[in-house]
A and B are shown apart, each in its own frame.
Chain A
Amino acid sequence: GAVVSQHPSWVICKSGTSVKIECRSLDFQATTMFWYRQFPKKSLMLMATSNEGSKATYEQGVEKDKFLINHASLTLSTLTVTSAHPEDSSFYICSALLNTEAFFGQGTRLTVV
């Protein structure tokens, strides 16, 4: 099946710094990718839809200036958490569309201290 890779798998950063998470489709091109966030013992919540070559579409309540999404190529979308705070600590997961099916990355554990 299709492979989606996220990097890094985990990251610890200081409060106030920015962190970039990469999502790559390794063996296919994806014009659409999705970013999810998952807090402990909770389900995945969609944050935004990332479209190659255009602006991302954010879900209600997600701050677009805090969670910057760039989808500059057909195989790479990045999520930058700007001025991270401890409450941003979470598990961030991306998915990429191949035809009409979604394939997920392995997730990135962000801890802000």
Chain B
Amino acid sequence: DAKTTQPTSMDCAEGRAANLPCNHSTISGNEYVYWYRQIHSQGPQYIIHGLKNNETNEMASLIITEDRKSSTLILPHATLRDTAVYYCIATRSGSARQLTFGSGTQLTVLP
């Protein structure tokens, strides 16, 4: 898996968009960008993933730069329940999905 770099922590006001950046400058052509989050004392939850096109689902949007060296996860209207550690992982979407988790970004949504 390519190495990813994320800020240690971020704050966001409730109701505002939360933009979480991730650098993956050594990502290879067949590696996807996955985002998971972990709310305190729970297992990780899948959010979204993409290869090179921007992606959107009911939880979030994923913006991947054209050179694929970085991406941004966007939570359009953050709520207090979005407070969690967010992990950006670059990995092949293959048959053996043991994921390598970095330190992630602690997002705190403030009232």
Q: Which A residues are within 8 Å of any B CB, using their own CB?
A: 1, 4, 6, 32, 34, 36, 43-46, 49, 91, 93, 95, 97, 100-107, 109
User: Is B41 within 8 A of A101, CB to CB?
Assistant: no
What's the least CB distance linking B3 to chain A, in Å?
13
Q: What separation, in Å, do the CA atoms of A32 and B46 have in the docked complex?
A: 18
Q: Which residues of A contact B98 (CB under 8 A)?
A: 34, 46, 49, 102
User: Is A1 within 8 A of B95, CB to CB?
Assistant: no
User: Is A1 within 8 A of B102, CB to CB?
Assistant: no
Q: Which of A6, A43, A91 meets B103, CB within 8 Å?
A: A43
User: Is B101 within 8 A of A103, CB to CB?
Assistant: no
User: Is B43 within 8 A of A105, CB to CB?
Assistant: yes
A-B Cβ contacts below 8 A, count: 58
Q: Which residues of B contact A104 (CB under 8 A)?
A: 43-46
User: Is B97 within 8 A of A107, CB to CB?
Assistant: no
What's the least CB distance linking A1 to chain B, in Å?
7
Q: Which residues of B contact A45 (CB under 8 A)?
A: 101
29 contacts between A and B (CB under 8 A): A6-B43, A32-B95, A32-B96, A32-B97, A34-B97, A34-B98, A34-B99, A36-B101, A43-B87, A43-B101, A43-B102, A44-B44, A44-B101, A46-B98, A46-B100, A49-B96, A93-B43, A95-B44, A95-B99, A100-B93, A100-B94, A101-B46, A101-B93, A101-B97, A104-B44, A104-B45, A106-B43, A107-B41, A107-B42
- Judged by a CB distance under 8 angstroms, whether B104 is at the interface is yes
Interface string of B73-104 (1 = CB under 8 A from A): 00000000000000100000111111111111
Q: Which residues of A contact B94 (CB under 8 A)?
A: 100
Q: Which residues of B contact A6 (CB under 8 A)?
A: 43
User: Is A100 within 8 A of B44, CB to CB?
Assistant: no
Q: What separation, in Å, do the CA atoms of A104 and B101 have in the docked complex?
A: 13
What's the least CB distance linking B42 to chain A, in Å?
6
- Nearest to B43 among chain A residues (CB) is A104
What's the least CB distance linking A54 to chain B, in Å?
14
User: Is B104 within 8 A of A43, CB to CB?
Assistant: yes
Q: Which residues of B contact A97 (CB under 8 A)?
A: 95-97
